[in-house]
Amino acid sequence: MENFLQDKDLWIVGSVCLVASILWRRFWNLFTYKRKRDSSPESASIDIQFREKDGKEKSKVYQKGLKTQKKKKPLDASDLVQAGFEEVQKLNQQNSQLSQCTAETAVSTAVHLDLIEEEQEVDKYRERKDDKQQATVEEEARGQEIAAELFQIKEEDKNEEEDRLKKEEALWLPEEKQLAALNSSDQTDEGITVTTESCEENLEITFSTKRHVTDETLTDELKKSRVEEDKELKEEEEAGLVAAEAGPERPEEGTEEERKDAEPVIDEYVIDSSPPPPAPFEHCLVTTKTHQITSYYTINKEEVLGGGRFGMVHKCVEKSSGLVLAAKIIKARSQKEKEVVKCEIEVMNQLDHANLIQLYAAFESRHEIILVMEYVDGGELFDRIIDENYKLTELDTVLFIRQISEGLQYMHKMYILHLDLKPENILCVSRQTNKVKIIDFGLARRYKPREKLRVNFGTPEFLAPEVINYEFVSFPTDMWSLGVITYMLLSGLSPFLGEDDNETLNNILACQWSFEEAEFADISEEAKDFISRLLVKSKSWRMSASQSLKHPWLSDRALHYRLHHKKNKCHSSHAPPPEG
């Protein structure tokens, strides 16, 4: 706009100068004309006529106006002056009109540009709308295609189901006809009335003659197969009678030999995965009492159930109910020692599981704290490992490790680490069963992911590498100890035990262990794989408790059947020979 105003000013100045020059020339011509007219009037008239014919001084003269201009009389000075002013006014009007036109053209162009932009936006909106409509149409088309495919799949499934039903019906009808044929010799009418009781038997009567012929051929084959089955059943019954007369050891061997070519035996064995009996009291939150424990319980200090660095465990009886319990007497003279024991009480208050020992009461005195707990009389698992008279099989080990894994799974779900898992801290419920419970939560800690936990305690043989290196401990730390226990139960050997504690710790850090010992000759590959997935130096690569329960060694019934079969063979070799 500023450029436009500058051009307009220049245009006005130029036009004014042009008009001034024209007026000056006309004034000069008038002056010279008067002088010539005073001197010679003819020359003046000639000069004017010449100029009119020349036309240089007349601006904007059209072709049609030339004739009329020739007929006019010559103008005098006043007319010339007036004509000059008229020309100036015309020029000013033309300039103003031109400026108005340019402004209008500028405004019109701006308006035109705005209209163009609006039209472009409208076109874009229409294009977007068209794209959206096209996308919706495509989606609808895809949906229709998917629906058509689903409908087609349903139709195919329906047709397959109908074909399967027809085939089953075709196989089932000959059997019914066979039964009818077997009964037709004595009771023909009764057989017909029986077959008319169901819609399938009604269809049998309406079948074509061709199908009837094929059914008769099939019934003959079925008769033969049924005769053979009857023979096999009779043989099995006879074998069962012979086995019952022979004694308890021979029935299984005889029946297995006779049924090799008959029905296949299901090679599965379901282990007893039922939990051990719960504590004889309800789980409760225990707080320490300052009363004398002898007022409520009778402690038999002569009968020691166990002991260690913490103190001794004795058998005790509740006076009010006669309930048999275990009293764990812990020496705690300083306040710090008492806080450690109270931490154990806090941990046990959070644990309510059949494979974990339960706390019943707690009493605090000046120099000790006594924990009254559930009592089990099966002894330590360690005793079964070192007992030469006890035949510990691989299947027994499966039962033990499965229960320990279930207890650890529960503890880890409660964000609690045991950190002192070993055979001495696993008690058997009784001498006759393989049910166990985990005990001794004196070193247990609550796991907080944001607070990195380090510990510098434990039994050297069962310590994980991260404990020795004083690194952060977590759930895999307990799983390392479970791997060591599994190794010991299967072989009776400790995988990292050295001449002294330093050598043991060095063996753990080097992760030096193997299955080369003769004790692993008859151990299954699944058991070796289970140990190999736990005794891993990097804790992030060890199995969790949940993963260990899903491992084939603990979950595969076919494997358990083979292990059970091996155990039976082993026991049968020591069985006394049958009489007679």
Residues recognised as catalytic: 420
Q: Classify the C-alpha dihedral 307-308-312-316 as positive or negative.
A: negative
- What does 84-97 look like in DSSP terms, one character per residue? HHHHHHHHHHHHHH
Q: Are 141 and 188 in contact (CB under 8 A)?
A: no
210 marked as binding residue:
no
Q: Are 401 and 482 in contact (CB under 8 A)?
A: yes
State whether residue 552 is helix, strand or coil: helix
Q: Are 267 and 558 in contact (CB under 8 A)?
A: yes
C-alpha radius of gyration, the chain, whole number:
57
Strands 324-331 and 368-373: antiparallel
Print burial letters for 105-138: b (CB count within 10 Å at least 16), e (below 16).
eeeeeeeeeeeeeeeeeeeeeeeeeeeeeeeeee
289 pairs with which residues across the strands?
A: 363
328 pairs with which residues across the strands?
A: 313, 371
Q: Round to whole Å and give the CA distance between 333 and 367.
A: 4
**Closest to 490 (Cα-Cα) out of 433, 530, 440:** 530
Q: Are 289 and 364 in contact (CB under 8 A)?
A: yes
Q: How far is CA 575 from the centre of its chain?
A: 53
- What does 25-77 look like in DSSP terms, one character per residue? HHHHHHHHHHHHHHH-HHHHHHHHHHHHHH-TT--S--GGGHHHHHHSPPP-H
Give the Å distances, CA to CA, from 138 to 117, 132, 147.
31, 10, 14
Q: Which residues contact 406 (CB under 8 A, 6 or more apart)?
A: 275, 353, 355, 545, 549
Angle at 104 between CA 100 and CA 105, to 5 degrees: 115
Annotated binding site: 328
Annotated binding site for ATP: 328
